[in-house]
Structure 1
Amino acid sequence: MKVVLGRDDLAEAAGAAVKESGEPFERLAVRPVHKASRGFVDGDGPDVCELAVVTLLQAVAQDRPVLLLPITALGRTQHQTLVTMGRLTVQDIEGRSVGVRAWSQTTGVWVRGFLTEQYGVDLRKIDWRTYEGAHVDGCEDPSWVTRATQGSRLPADFLDGSLDFGIMGNELPDDDRIRTAITDARTAAAQWSERTGFTLVNHVVGVSETAAREHSAAVLAAYDAMRAAASSTASAAVDPTGFAGLRGPVTRAAAYALEQEVLPRAVEFDELVDRTCAALGVPASRLGG
C-alpha cells in the first residue's frame, strides 16, 4: 500500500497497522503533499493520500474513484489568511483586487465563504486573480475570475502592490508590512467556530476505491491506527475524526464551494459516507458514525 501523508504521527501509525495486517506499506516522499493530489485523483498515484477537502469534493463531483477516510490531516483557522499591506480592511474589499493561488484552494473557499456569510460581500464585485488551476481535470475557474499572467507569482504580485489583498496560508511572505484584513482575526475565527459548533478542516485522508475494495482490512486497520494517533495529540480537540466529527465542516465547505462555482454539482456528505462504506463493506458506525 502506497501512502502520502504529511503528518509523521499519522504515517507511522498507519504503517504499523498495515504491516501488521499482512500488507506491504510504503510512505512516498512527496512534499508538499498537494503535489500528490492529481495522481491520486487520476488513479495512478498512491492508494491512501492526504488531500485538501475541496480537492476531494471536486473529485467526487467528477465521479472519480476516490473516497473519504474520515481523518483530519490538517485543521486550522482561516480568517487570518486574508491579508493586505495598506490601510484597507475587509469592509473595503468590494471593487478591489484579491489574489488567491487557485480558485479551488480550500483556504480560499473558506475565506470567500466568510466574506459572504459574515461580511455581506458580493464576490462578483471583486477583481479575483488566480495563479493555477484545480488538481482535478475538468474543474475550471468561473467566468468572472481572471487568471494571472503566466509566470507571475502571488506573493510577488502582492508585495509589489499589484494586488490589494491576498489569501495566503503557507505561501505568506515574511514581511513586516503585511497585516490581516479582518480585525482581530483569531477572535473572529474563534467566534465563528463557537457559533457553528465545529472547527475548520483543510486536509483529510482519501483512499482509492480500488484499495478500499481489495484491501479493506488493511485500510480499516490504518483508519483505526490514525484515529488513535490523532486522539493522543494536543490537536485532537480541534482536528475531528470519524464521519460524525467531519460532517459539519465538510458539509459547510461543500456548500461554500457550490455557491462559488468551485463544484459542478452539489456533493452531500451522506454521498461521501455511502461511497466509502460500500467500498469497504462496513456500516457508517464502523467509521465514526
Structure 2
Amino acid sequence: MKVVLGRDDLAAAAEAAVKDSGEQFERLAVRPVHKASRGFVDGNGPDVCELAIVTLLQAVAQDRPVLLLPVTALGRDQHQTLVTLGRLTVEDVEGRSVGVRAWSQTTGVWVRGFLTEQYGVDLRKVDWRTYEGAHVDGYEDPSWVTRAPEGSKLPADFLDGRVDFGIMGNELPADDRVRTAIADARRVAAEWSAATGFTPVNHVLGITDAAARENRAAVLAAYDAMRKAAAAAPTAAIDPSGFEGLRGPVTRAAAYALEQEVIARPVDYDELVERTCAALGVPASRLGG
C-alpha cells in the first residue's frame, strides 16, 4: 500500500496497522502533500493520500474513483487568513482586488463562504486573482475570475500592492505591515465554530476505490489506527474524524464550493459515505457513522 501523509503520527500508526495485517506499506516522500493530489486523483499515484476537502469534492463531482476515508489530517481557524495592508477592512472587499493561490484552494473556499454568509459580500463584485489551477484536470476557474500573469506570485503581489487583499495560510509572508482584514479574527472564528459545532477542516484522507476493494482488512486497520492517533493530537479543538464527525464541515464546504462554481454539481455527504462503505463492504457505523 503506497501512502502520502504529511503527519508523522498518522503515518506511523498506519504503517504499524498495515504491516500487522500482513500487507506491505510504503510512505512516499512527497512534500508538500498537495503535490501528490493530481496523480492520486488520476489513478497514477498513491493508494491513500492526504487530500484537501475541495480536491476530494471536485474528484467525486467528476465521478473519479476516489473515496473519503474519514480521518482529519488538518483543521484550523480560517478567518485570519484574509489579510491586507494599510487601513482596508473586510467591509472594503467589494470593488477591490483579492488574490488567492487557486480558486479551488480549500482555504479560499472557506473564506469566500464567510464573506457571503457573515458579511454579505457579492463575490461577483470582487476582482479575484488566481495564480494556479486546480489539482483535478478538467476544471476551469469561473468566467468572472482572472488569472494573474504567468510567473506572478501571490505573496509578492500582495506585499507590492498589486492586490488589495490576500487569502493566505501557510504562505503568509512575514511582514509587520500585514494584518487581518477581519477585526479580532480569532475571536470571530471561535464564535463561528461555536455556532456551527465544528472547526473548518482543510485536509482529510482519500483512498482509491481499487485499494479499498482489494485491501479491505488493511485499510480498516489503518483507519482505526489513524483515527486513534488523530484523536490523540487533534489539529482543532475537537477532532472531527469518523463519518459523523466530518458531516458538518464537509457538508458546509460542499455547499460553499457549489455556490462558488468550484464544483459543477452538488455532492451530498451521504454520497461520500455510501461510496466508501460499498467499496469496503461495511456499514457506515464501522467508520464512525
Contact map agreement 1:53 1:203 (CA 8 A) in 2: yes
Secondary structure at the residue paired with 1:102?
coil
- 2:121 maps to 121
- 1: CA distance, partners of 2:145 / 2:105: 14
- 2:27 maps to 27
Secondary structure at the residue paired with 2:83?
strand
AA at the equivalent of 2:147: R
Secondary structure at the residue paired with 1:172?
coil
Contact map agreement 1:74 1:239 (CA 8 A) in 2: no
Secondary structure at the residue paired with 2:131?
strand
Q: What is the deviation of 1:238?
A: 2.5
AA at the equivalent of 2:115: L
After the TM superposition, which residues 121-140 of structure 1 pair with which residues of structure 2 at under 5 Å, given as runs?
Answer: 121-140=121-140
Q: Unmatched 5+ residue regions in structure 1?
A: none
Residues 246-287 of structure 1, C-alpha deviations (whole Å, 9 max, x = no match): 000000000000000000100000000000000000000000
Q: Unmatched 5+ residue regions in structure 2?
A: none
Secondary structure at the residue paired with 2:101?
strand
Contact map agreement 2:82 2:165 (CA 8 A) in 1: yes
Residues 135-175 of structure 1, C-alpha deviations (whole Å, 9 max, x = no match): 00111100000000001100010010000000000111011
- 2: CA distance, partners of 1:227 / 1:149: 42
RMSD: 0.8
- 2:16 maps to 16
Residue 152 of structure 2 corresponds to residue 152 of structure 1 = yes
Contact map agreement 1:52 1:204 (CA 8 A) in 2: yes
Q: What is the deviation of 1:236?
A: 6.6
AA at the equivalent of 2:155: P
Residues 211-237 of structure 1, C-alpha deviations (whole Å, 9 max, x = no match): 000001100000000011112225474
Residue 281 of structure 2 corresponds to residue 251 of structure 1 = no
Secondary structure at the residue paired with 2:246?
helix
Residues 166-188 of structure 1, C-alpha deviations (whole Å, 9 max, x = no match): 00001110111000000000000
Secondary structure at the residue paired with 2:108?
helix
Contact map agreement 1:57 1:263 (CA 8 A) in 2: yes
TM-score, normalisation: structure 1: 0.99
Contact map agreement 1:230 1:236 (CA 8 A) in 2: no
- 1: CA distance, partners of 2:6 / 2:234: 17
After the TM superposition, which residues 175-214 of structure 1 pair with which residues of structure 2 at under 5 Å, given as runs?
Answer: 175-214=175-214
Identity %: 83
- 1: CA distance, partners of 2:165 / 2:59: 29
Contact map agreement 1:201 1:239 (CA 8 A) in 2: no
Secondary structure at the residue paired with 2:182?
coil
TM-score, normalisation: structure 2: 0.99
- 2:265 maps to 265
Contact map agreement 1:60 1:267 (CA 8 A) in 2: yes
Secondary structure at the residue paired with 1:198?
coil
- 2: CA distance, partners of 1:4 / 1:135: 15
AA at the equivalent of 2:284: A
